[in-house]
Structure 1
């Protein structure tokens, strides 16, 4: 038998520095009885998107971009290579039945939580419609849920013009009794991106809305800290929902609904860090990335960096 000098069958030809641990090396496939620090699940569903979207491809692309980052923080002078990430894989959705797919997402997140394998969790969408079944599962498992939503849009569209879509998750949660309007905070709402009807709906339901003008005048970190303090007195657990179209199109070109005037990538990362430092923050979803529309994985790489800010806090 000939011994190969340079070939490594079944392995990628990737350079390895013995002193560097990449974040993707910390992913551990779930097995029965496994315990870890972070639970990761993919919700690859975008068939209910109101605009053409291949956001269902985002979970695998975001995971791949974890290899772009090391586990060492020079700013904190700390290596997080011992933080274990239990990867529960991706949910197998139904090819044609949309309601069945939504239920499969709900059941899968609920079953992940019932394993009690991790302290905190990250859900990778998919379009923003996946937040509806995911947050429902957290409500059932933990009790009262508070949500901080980074988004250019309210996502409280009516359910008559197309049923449940990526524009309806928070209306679905509120109308279904899974989330109180007063426990929802929306950050980064953009001007000329929503209808007056939905603007009025947020007021009627007591949703706390912070526009881009509010961020410009007050700063995003003070807003996040203020709402964390308020929510922590009302809820059992806080869930972060990050719609990447909150970020300016210059930094996140891979969103189906890109637009100018959003927050910067630095504002996103800093605000996630501020939120993740609170003890009641147990979960984060990242949604609305279409890799087919992206450029050099700019948006998926920003999503991977957002994961780091949530995990390594």
Structure 2
């Protein structure tokens, strides 16, 4: 693992309707992220937070059935430039959300540096909606589709190129809430998905072994995009779109430990921490704990 980490906060809450997730980066920092990683002998450079445009004074505005399209596109472009610079400097980008729409900017900044960037999408949702398939128009349900080049041109063209990633280089882990349009897209493009059914039946060890093996032979770098709602709401209550029956705290630590051992993760983001909906910053603390495992924390 790259021992030089650059942290970028993205206080974005425009991709959905519930306020508070813009405070996620601060909550994660407050939960002791920097101290945790410095104990593991990492050089931590905190670049602060990206400036996110304010939404219209009248509230969320929809263009082409996409809520806050212009503001999210602008904020994502700013993030992409910052992430691009971090990768150019040879450092590990660690991005803190914010809602999951920020992944569009993260991947835009990273993917240009790789021929075949792999993505592990650790999430209850597929985030593969489009303006046509989305029931809500919330862009935080679209970043994976956008990164595959599917969606509105203002989003797919962030940072001047598309697509950012290929469907055969994606693995979704923990899915348990997929819209019909997302299911069709998964089948059409052959995206590898481990739903909670597979996790329960196979066990997390097998799921991660297969995911690592699948990506190892076809990618030259792997980005981890971890949505805290991938975990069960009992473990991570401070998220905007909780779905019961999720991944456990222990399963998630095992997954992160195995990813560290794989030596394949080249960038990461942790998203959807909402302190307003949380219990004594529990979800942010879980995020920091998972970061510890991802970056090599162990009892031996």
TM bucket, shorter chain: 0.7 to 0.9
Q: For 1:200-246, what per-residue CA distance to the aligned partner results, in whole angstroms no more than 9, with x for missing partners? A: 21111111011111001101121112111221111110011111111
**What SS does the corresponding residue of 2:186 show, helix, strand or coil?**
helix
Aligned-pair Cα RMSD in Å? 2.1
Counterpart residue number, 1:145: 117
**Greater than 6 Å deviation, 4+ residue runs:** none
Say which of 215, 218, 225 aligns to 1:241.
225
1:55 and 2:21 correspond: yes
More helix per residue: 1 or 2? 2
Is structure 2 residue 51 aligned with structure 1 residue 92?
yes
Distance apart, 1:167 and its partner CA: 0.3
2:111 is paired with a residue of what secondary structure? helix
Aligned to 2:146: 172
In structure 1, the partner of 2:105 is 133
Q: 2:11 aligns with which of 30, 36, 44?
A: 44
Q: Measure the CA separation in 2 of the matches of 1:278 and 1:52.
A: 36
Q: Could you report, residue by residue, the CA deviation over 1:224-274 in whole angstroms, capped at 9, with x for unpaired residues? A: 121112211111100111111111111111010112100111111110111
Query: Which of the pair has the greater relative contact order for Cα pairs under 8 Å at 6+ separation?
Result: 2
Q: 1:68, CA displacement in angstroms?
A: 10
Deviation at 1:106, TM superposition (A): 1.2
Count of residues paired in the alignment:
267
Structure ID, larger Rg: 1
> 2:58 maps to what in 1?
none
Structure 1 contact 39–121 (Cα < 8 Å) conserved: yes
Match of 2:128 among 153, 156, 159: 156
Give the secondary structure class of the aligned counterpart of 2:31.
helix
The residue aligned with 1:16 is none
Distance in structure 1 (CA, Å) of the matches to 2:288 and 2:237: 15
Q: Evaluate the alpha carbon distance shift between residue 48 and residue 237 of structure 1 in structure 2; reply closer, same or farther with a 3 A threshold.
A: same
Q: Distance in 2 between the 1:67 and 1:39 partners?
A: 12
Unaligned 5+ runs, structure 2: 56-70, 150-161
Counterpart CA distance in 2 for 1:70 and 1:107 is: 27
User: Is contact 1:39–1:87 with CA below 8 Å preserved after alignment?
Assistant: yes
- Contact conserved, 1:43 with 1:59, CA < 8 A, in 2? yes
Displacement of 1:43: 1.6
Asked if 1:267 corresponds to 2:251, the answer is yes
- The answer as to whether partners of 1:80 and 1:312 remain within 8 angstroms in 2 is no
Q: Give unpaired runs (5+ residues) of structure 1.
A: 1-34, 72-78
Distance in structure 2 (CA, Å) of the matches to 1:58 and 1:70: 17
Partner residue in 1 for 2:76: 102
Taking a change above 3 Å as real, the CA distance of residues 208 and 138 of structure 1, as seen in their structure-2 partners, is same
- In the TM superposition, 1:15-94 aligns within 5 A as 37-49=4-16, 51-66=17-32, 80-94=39-53
* TM-score, scaled relative to structure 1: 0.80
CA–CA distance in structure 1, aligned partners of residues 193 and 284 of structure 2: 26
